[in-house]
Amino acid sequence: MNFSLAVYRVCKKLPESEPMAGQLKKTANELVGDLVMEEWKEAQKRAGCLIAYFEISRNQDWINPVNWEILKKESFSLKEQIGFFEANKKSRKIKKEGTGIVSHNAETRKKYKKEISSRQKEILSFLESKRAAKFSDLTPLFKDRISERTLRADLQDLLNRNLINREGINKNSVYISKTFQAAQPPQAQ
């Protein structure tokens, strides 16, 4: 950005009728846009164009040659930096993608359908009638219709929706309907 402003300052000293001033400003602005958008190849081309424009303008003796040399030097430096960014573009992209911290046990939240499935309704009514059931009690209910994996997914969905509770772990888990629990008076301790 400072480079673009320096080009504008130098262009103010060029004759008003000189088309080179407009071309320098336009190219400097496009260069800034390319840098912002990380279009390294285009930015490198535009930096090369600016160097050529500086050479042409310097030969006209409109501006102190020292100013043109400074701009030319900065253009070469900028072009070199752009080349460095272009060369490292792929490695930076890979690093950027892998910077997040993810837990090994993180669960992805799924969007739920508004209504529960007919299988889940069947599970809920079974749990309400039996009060509580183990997984092994539920498998005969869907024998030859769904896999155990699908049944586990349905139970997990009901748990996530907070429609049932699970007590215990793994094979000792007991699934309890929330409506049954709400109807039970609290146990005295």
Q: CA-to-CA distance for 109 and 144, rounded, in angstroms?
A: 29
Q: CA-to-CA distance for 53 and 26, rounded, in angstroms?
A: 12
Q: CA-to-CA distance for 23 and 50, rounded, in angstroms?
A: 9
Q: Identify the band that residue 189 occupies on the pLDDT scale cut at 50, 70 and 90.
A: very low
Q: Kindly give, in sequence order, each residue whose CB lies less than 8 Å from that of residue 166, ignoring residues fewer than 6 positions away.
A: 155, 159, 173, 174, 175, 176
pTM of this structure: 0.42
Q: Which residue has the tokens 């993608």?
A: 97
- CB-CB neighbours of 138 under 10 Å: 20
pLDDT for 64-113, tens place per residue?
Answer: 778 777 777 777 777 777 777 777 765 555 555 555 555 555 555 555 56
Q: CA-to-CA distance for 111 and 61, rounded, in angstroms?
A: 69
Q: Beta strands of the chain (E only): which ranges?
A: 132-134, 164-167, 174-177
pLDDT score recorded for residue 187 = 53
Question: Under a CB-based contact definition with an 8 Å cutoff, are residues 78 and 3 in contact?
Answer: yes
